[in-house]
């Protein structure tokens, strides 16, 4: 077995164990071609479809697939234009594109690779060949995703770092505005952490932060939710497509779960264990606000939680009118 085959086999096993089915988007203006691709891939993958370039771009921006199988000749926006648009958008630039087309001349293939495609398959497709090529590109994508995530991990706590938070916050805000979906942000702080460090030492302080981070991460409910170390003893949670009410409930759960760790903190003015204070900011589906104003609102709510005695949650939502509710 070759190295690539071994890697693909390992990847398939890992995805199966985690219950993950990669998402493919088939883009073709001919329904019969979409049906052929669906029959080839439906058993192993989640298969989505689009019959125009505009539909494909909208789908990729709102529900990013793991790979796009893209026809070249389509009315309106052709495949080359679609691929170029995906590459130019920071929210979609990492999605691999394979052209699937009846045109087999070298000039078309060269142009396809120049605009950013990773492979070029001729119609009519051979099912075994197209499966193998898709699997290879998915393997490369997941490996690349893993390496990117390693760069974005906080060395102490193992959750995402501030750099990754800043990147994803911009992406999720843009996606929320584009898809008219709610978005929530939780900012939280470990209460009286300097006192904890001074009393128990920095090694215990590091262990405390690791345990808190692990608890926060384990408490999140959906794959799209993420927690990042924002700085020092402060963390942030991004909750896409989450209503303000659900975000407030999540914040209450986070507070309770950290308290249940029962990490002794004798110099806390809140209770005798390590606790967290949390500020929640929500954006309703129709709200008019940007990422900076929502971040500022979450930070302001965290400030209120600290001045309300700590170990508690405070929150506010920006409504469709642009004001807070």
Task: Supply the residues annotated as catalytic.
Answer: 233
The token pair at 274 is: 């390590």
Q: Is the dihedral of CA 257, 258, 263, 264 positive or negative?
A: negative
Contacts of 315 (CB under 8 A, 6+ apart): 244, 247, 248, 251, 279, 280, 281, 282, 301
Burial of 58: CB neighbours in 10 Å, binned 0-12, 13-18, 19+:
middle
CA 58 to chain centre: 17
79, 103 Cβ separation under 8 angstroms: no
Listed residue (249, 240, 254) closest to 294, CA to CA:
240
Distances (CA, A) of 139 to 49, 74, 117, 146, 199: 22, 29, 16, 11, 48
- Cross-strand bridge partners of residue 185: 238, 281
CA 238 to chain centre: 9
Residue 100, classed as helix, strand or coil, is strand
Taking the C-alpha atoms of residue 231 and residue 81, their distance in angstroms, rounded to an integer, is 41
């Amino acid at each position: 077995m070759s190295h690539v085959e071994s890697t693909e086999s390992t990847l398939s096993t890992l995805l199966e164990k985690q219950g993950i089915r990669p998402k493919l988007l088939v883009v073709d203006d001919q329904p019969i071609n979409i049906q052929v691709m669906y029959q080839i891939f439906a058993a192993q993958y989640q298969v989505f479809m689009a019959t125009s370039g505009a539909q494909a771009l909208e789908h990729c921006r709102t529900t990013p697939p793991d790979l796009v199988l893209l026809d070249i000749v389509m009315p309106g926006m052709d495949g080359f234009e679609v691929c170029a648009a995906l590459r130019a958008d920071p929210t979609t630039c990492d999605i691999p594109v394979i052209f699937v087309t009846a045109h087999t001349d070298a000039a078309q293939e060269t142009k396809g690779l120049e605009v950013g495609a990773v492979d070029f398959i001729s119609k009519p497709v051979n099912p075994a060949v197209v499966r193998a090529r898709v699997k290879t590109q998915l393997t490369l994508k997941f490996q690349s995703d893993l390496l990117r995530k390693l760069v974005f991990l906080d060395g102490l706590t193992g959750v995402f770092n501030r750099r990754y938070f800043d990147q994803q916050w911009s992406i999720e805000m843009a996606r929320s505005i584009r898809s008219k979906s709610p978005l929530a942000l939780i900012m939280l702080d470990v209460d009286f952490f300097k006192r904890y460090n001074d009393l128990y030492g920095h090694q215990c302080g590091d262990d405390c932060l690791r345990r808190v981070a692990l608890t926060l991460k384990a408490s999140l409910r959906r794959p799209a939710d993420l927690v990042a170390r924002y700085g020092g003893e402060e963390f942030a949670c991004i909750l896409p497509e989450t209503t303000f009410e659900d975000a407030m409930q999540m914040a209450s759960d986070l507070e309770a779960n950290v308290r249940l760790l029962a990490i002794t903190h004798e110099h806390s003015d809140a209770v005798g264990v390590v606790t967290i204070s949390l500020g929640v900011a929500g954006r309703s589906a129709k709200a008019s606000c940007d990422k900076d104003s929502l971040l500022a609102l979450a930070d302001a709510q965290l400030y209120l939680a600290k001045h309300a005695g700590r170990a508690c949650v405070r929150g506010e939502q920006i409504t469709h009118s642009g004001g807070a509710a």
